[in-house]
Structure 1
Amino acid sequence: MKLLESRIPPLALVVIAGGLMWGISRLAGSVAMPGGIRLGVTALILALGVFFCVAGVVSFRRARTTVDPRTPEAATALVDSGIYRFSRNPMYVGFAAILLSWGVFLASPWSLLGVAGFILYLNCFQITPEERALQGVFGDAYTAYRSRVRRWL
């Protein structure tokens, strides 16, 4: 089932989705939002997204395991502490929040399709193959982890 696996780094997908969102916002236009509110909401969501990303990387570094999602079979530790107690994919949650903040900043509801597309793509082509690989590496421990922690939030 290698055809369904993504070899595109998720950070590159964020950049691609962000570019598509910008393009959509230029075509579809934006809605009027008070600048202060728009910037405040953008900053809050962005900070939350960065927090999730950084917390995920820090947890992986502490466990001394790979952060490269293209090679989940190289994982040397099942990280289930820290932010991983709340989400099996906090870095992806963070990326989605960063894209959401970009959509708020653009003030274009149609641009939010980029966030939805990013999440759908990751679910199908990144997370599902990762989960298969992690199941193979960690077996019952990963099954137990999956049963107690949600994929996203």
Structure 2
Amino acid sequence: MLELKVPPLLLFNIFAAVILLPAEYPIRLDNYGFLVGCILVAAAMLIALLATMTFKRAKTTVNPYSFDNVNALVTSGVFGYSRNPMYLAMALALLGIGFIVGKVVLAMLVAIGFVSYLTKFQILPEERLLADLFGAEYRQYCQQVRRWI
């Protein structure tokens, strides 16, 4: 059973809201910060889209709460670079939002908190379930591909 009771997408939105709260002194990075933020958000969207398409091609579930519907270990595409590209995309999007609104330091702290929380309460339990489901094949995949990047 997964330990995270809050769906990852909702968790992402909560962490993003922290970045978007009004601040007295946002860091102004002029157009460069905005551009970097847009690039990060675009990269995040691309990674999430590619990961979703890879799951769909494998005919397995994208939903982290429906482990009964997991029927394939997906290791190709973006999953060849990160075991958690969708969560990585969320973390990149948080950083991008921070750059866009001029709250880079806060965004970095929020992204670190997001990654730490998600790793403990979502990813580690998922890894245990996947190891039970796919055994040696999954353990070998873990040795070849990093959890995040």
Question: Which TM class, normalised by the smaller chain length?
Answer: over 0.9
Q: CA deviation at 1:47?
A: 0.9
How big is each residue's C-alpha offset from its partner over 1:120-151, in whole Å with a ceiling of 9 and x where there is no partner? 11100000000000001100100110010000
In structure 2, distance between residues paired with 1:102 and 1:81 = 28
> Which residue type is aligned with residue 20 of structure 2?
W
The secondary structure found in structure 2 opposite 1:68 is coil
Residue 149 (structure 2) pairs with residue 150 (structure 1): no
Secondary structure class of the residue paired with 1:84: helix
Consecutive unaligned residues of structure 1, counting only runs of 5 or more, are: none
Aligned mate of 1:102, from 93, 97, 106: 97
Question: 1:37, 1:66 → 2: CA distance?
Answer: 38
Q: One-letter code of the match for 1:16?
A: I
**CA RMSD in angstroms, aligned pairs only:** 1.4
Give the percent of matched residue pairs that are identical in Structure 1 and Structure 2: 35
Match for residue 131 of structure 1? 127
Query: In the alignment, which residue of structure 1 is the partner of 2:35?
Result: 40
Higher share of residues assigned helix: 1
SS at match of 1:116: helix
Query: How do residues 72-83 of structure 1 correspond to structure 2 at under 5 angstroms?
Result: 72-83=67-78
Equivalent residue letter for 2:12: V
**Aligned-partner Cα distance in 1 for 2:106–2:97:** 12
TM-score, with structure 2 as normaliser = 0.93
Instruction: Determine which of 16, 19, 22 is the counterpart of 1:21.
Output: 19
State the distance in 1 between where 2:40 and 2:118 align: 20
> How many pairs does the alignment contain?
148
Which runs of no fewer than 5 residues in structure 2 stay unpaired?
A: none
Q: Distance in 1 between matches of 2:59 and 2:112?
A: 32
Deviation string 1:7-63 (CA, Å, 9 cap, x unpaired) is 32111111100111222xx345211221x2122111111111111111110110000
Amino acid at match of 1:15: N
| Residues 78 and 85, structure 2, Cα contact 8 Å, conserved in 1 | yes
Match of 2:15, SS? helix
Q: Letter of the aligned partner of 1:127 in structure 2?
A: I
Kept after mapping to 2: 8 A contact 1:96/1:115: yes
| Match status 1:89 vs 2:84 | yes
Between the aligned partners of 1:19 and 1:148, the Cα distance in structure 2 is 35
